C-alpha cells in the first residue's frame, strides 16, 4: 500500500523551505511583480539554492545534488505553492532536470545543482505526456524561459524521428508575454540554432514524456499547498470577522462551505501524495495517479481560491489582496501541463472506461 504520510526528513525539509520563504516573501512581495515585472527575485532564488539546496534536489550526490526523490520535491512544492513563490523550481529543478537525467547527460547537471544555471524544456506550457509538438521554430507559451540559461528542444528530424537538442541562451530569442500569473512568467521563444543533440528516437521521446509526467505529478502538490493556504487563512478570517454581532464563521452556510472545501482539499492532498509516491516508485499505477492528480488538484486549487475570495467579501476584490495572487496561480496551473479535461481523457482508457 502506498504510504501517503510525510517522513521526518520531508517535514524537516518543509521547515527549512518554509522558514526561508517566510524571510523573503510577504503578502506584498508577489503583488509587486505585477507592477514591476523586473522585481529582483534573485536573493530568494539564491537562498533556496545555497541554503536549502533546492536547485539540485533531484540531482544525484555525485553530480553535486542532494539525491532526493519526488516525495521530497512534492513537499517543497507544497510550500512554494503556499506562497506562490516566483522561483523556477518546477520548470528547472523538476521538469528540465528529469529530462536531462533520463537522457543521461551529465554536462550541465552540476551547474544546475549548484544553482549557477537553470534550464527549461522548450514545449508549450500546456503540453502533457504524449501530447507535445516538435519542429516548431517559435514556441509559446514557455514557462521558465525568462531566466533559463539552457533549453531542451524536441526536434523532428524530418523522417519521423524525434531528437532532443540542448540550446544555450545565445541560440534563442526570448520575449516575455503578458500572462495571467506573472509570478511564473511565460515567454515566446524563437529558435535560431540547431543546438547540441542529447538523444534521439525512443530515448528522446521517453525523456520528454518522463519530464512532463514528473511535472504533472508534482505540480499537484503545488496546487495542494495553494489550496490549503487559502482554506486556512479563510477559516481564520471567518473566525474573527464579525457581522451582526457574531463571527461570520458561526453561520451555518459558511460552516458548510468551509467543511465541504476541507474535504476536497484533503482528497486533493491524497491524490497528490499518491502521484508523488507512484512517481518515486515508478509503479504500475503511476500514469493513473498522475491523471487523477492532474484533473482533481487543478480544479480544487481554483475552487479554494474562489471560495477565499468570496468569503473575504469586498476586501478580497482589490487586486493586490493575497487571494488574487493565489487565484491567478491556480487558474494558470489549471491550464498548465494539460487541462483537467485532458487528464480525464487520458485516465478513461487506463481504467477501462470507454465511451
Residues 6+ apart with CB under 8 A from 159: none
User: Which grid cell sits at 291?
Assistant: 491523471
Q: What is the pLDDT of residue 27?
A: 83
Outline where DSSP puts E strands in 103-185: 119-121, 138-143, 150-156, 162-168, 172-176
What number of CA atoms fall less than 13 Å from residue 333's CA on the CB side? 37
User: Which grid cell sits at 109?
Assistant: 547537471
User: Which grid cell sits at 104?
Assistant: 543521461
Q: What is the pLDDT of residue 122?
A: 97
pTM: 0.95
In angstroms, the CA 275 to CA 219 distance is 10
In angstroms, the CA 37 to CA 270 distance is 35
Q: What is the pLDDT of residue 355?
A: 66
In angstroms, the CA 75 to CA 69 distance is 10
Query: DSSP assignment of 267-321, as one string?
Result: HHHHHHHHHHHHHHHT-TTHHHHHHHHHHHHHHHHHHHHHHHHHHTGGGGGSTTS
Domain spans of the chain? 205-351
In angstroms, the CA 276 to CA 272 distance is 6
In angstroms, the CA 291 to CA 310 distance is 29
Backbone angles phi, psi at 98, to 5 degrees: -60, -40
DSSP 8-state secondary structure symbol assigned to residue 124? -
| Residue keyed to cell 532532443 | 164
Per-residue pLDDT of the chain in tens (355 residues, 90 and over written 9): 778 889 999 999 999 999 999 999 988 899 999 888 888 999 999 999 999 999 999 999 999 999 999 999 999 999 999 999 999 999 999 999 999 999 988 889 999 999 999 999 999 999 999 999 988 899 999 999 999 999 999 998 778 899 999 999 999 999 999 999 999 999 999 999 989 999 999 999 999 999 999 999 999 999 999 999 999 999 999 999 999 999 999 999 999 999 999 999 999 999 999 999 999 988 878 999 999 999 999 999 999 999 999 999 888 888 889 999 999 999 999 999 999 999 999 999 999 987 6
Is 94 in contact with 30 (CB distance < 8 Å)? Answer: no
User: Which grid cell sits at 220?
Assistant: 499537484
Residues 6+ apart with CB under 8 A from 25: 44, 83, 85
Q: Which residues of 133-151 are buried (b: 16+ CB within 10 A; e: fewer)?
A: ebebeebebbbbbbbbebb
User: Which grid cell sits at 32?
Assistant: 509587486
CATH top-level class of 205-351: mainly alpha
Q: What is the pLDDT of residue 105?
A: 81
Backbone angles phi, psi at 156, to 5 degrees: -90, 120
Residues 6+ apart with CB under 8 A from 62: none
- Would you say how long the chain is, in residues? 355
User: Which grid cell sits at 353?
Assistant: 472506461
Backbone angles phi, psi at 147, to 5 degrees: -105, 5
In angstroms, the CA 90 to CA 104 distance is 20
Amino acid at each position: 500500500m502506498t504510504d501517503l504520510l510525510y517522513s521526518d526528513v520531508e517535514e524537516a525539509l518543509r521547515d527549512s523551505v518554509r522558514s526561508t520563504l517566510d524571510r523573503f516573501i510577504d503578502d506584498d512581495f508577489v503583488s509587486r511583480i505585477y507592477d514591476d515585472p523586473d522585481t529582483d527575485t534573485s536573493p530568494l532564488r539564491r537562498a533556496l539554492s545555497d541554503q536549502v539546496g533546492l536547485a539540485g534536489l533531484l540531482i544525484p550526490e555525485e553530480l553535486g545534488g542532494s539525491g532526493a526523490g519526488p516525495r521530497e520535491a512534492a513537499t517543497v512544492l507544497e510550500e512554494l505553492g503556499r506562497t506562490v513563490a516566483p522561483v523556477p523550481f518546477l520548470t528547472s529543478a523538476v521538469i528540465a532536470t528529469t529530462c536531462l537525467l533520463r537522457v543521461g547527460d551529465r554536462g550541465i547537471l552540476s551547474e544546475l545543482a549548484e544553482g549557477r544555471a537553470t534550464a527549461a524544456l522548450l514545449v508549450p506550457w500546456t503540453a502533457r505526456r504524449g501530447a507535445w509538438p516538435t519542429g516548431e521554430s517559435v514556441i509559446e507559451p514557455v514557462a521558465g524561459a525568462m531566466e533559463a540559461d539552457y533549453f531542451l528542444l524536441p526536434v523532428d528530424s524530418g523522417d519521423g524521428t524525434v531528437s532532443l537538442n540542448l540550446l544555450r541562451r545565445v541560440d534563442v530569442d526570448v520575449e516575455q508575454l503578458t500572462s495571467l500569473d506573472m509570478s511564473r512568467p511565460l515567454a515566446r521563444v524563437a529558435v535560431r540554432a540547431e543546438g547540441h543533440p542529447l538523444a534521439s528516437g525512443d530515448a528522446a521521446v521517453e525523456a520528454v514524456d518522463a519530464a512532463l509526467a514528473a511535472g504533472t505529478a508534482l505540480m499537484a502538490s503545488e496546487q495542494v499547498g495553494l489550496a490549503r493556504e487559502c482554506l486556512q487563512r479563510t477559516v481564520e478570517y471567518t473566525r474573527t470577522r464579525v457581522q451582526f454581532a457574531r463571527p461570520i464563521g458561526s453561520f451555518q452556510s459558511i460552516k458548510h462551505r468551509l467543511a465541504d472545501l476541507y474535504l476536497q482539499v484533503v482528497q486533493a492532498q491524497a491524490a497528490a501524495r499518491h502521484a508523488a509516491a507512484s512517481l518515486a516508485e515508478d509503479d504500475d499505477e503511476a500514469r493513473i495517479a498522475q491523471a487523477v492528480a492532474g484533473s482533481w488538484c487543478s480544479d480544487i486549487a481554483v475552487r479554494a481560491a474562489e471560495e477565499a475570495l468570496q468569503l473575504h467579501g469586498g476586501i478580497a476584490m482589490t487586486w493586490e489582496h493575497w487571494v488574487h495572487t493565489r487565484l491567478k496561480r491556480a487558474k494558470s496551473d489549471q491550464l498548465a501541463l494539460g487541462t483537467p479535461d485532458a487528464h480525464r481523457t487520458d485516465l478513461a482508457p487506463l481504467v477501462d472506461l470507454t465511451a
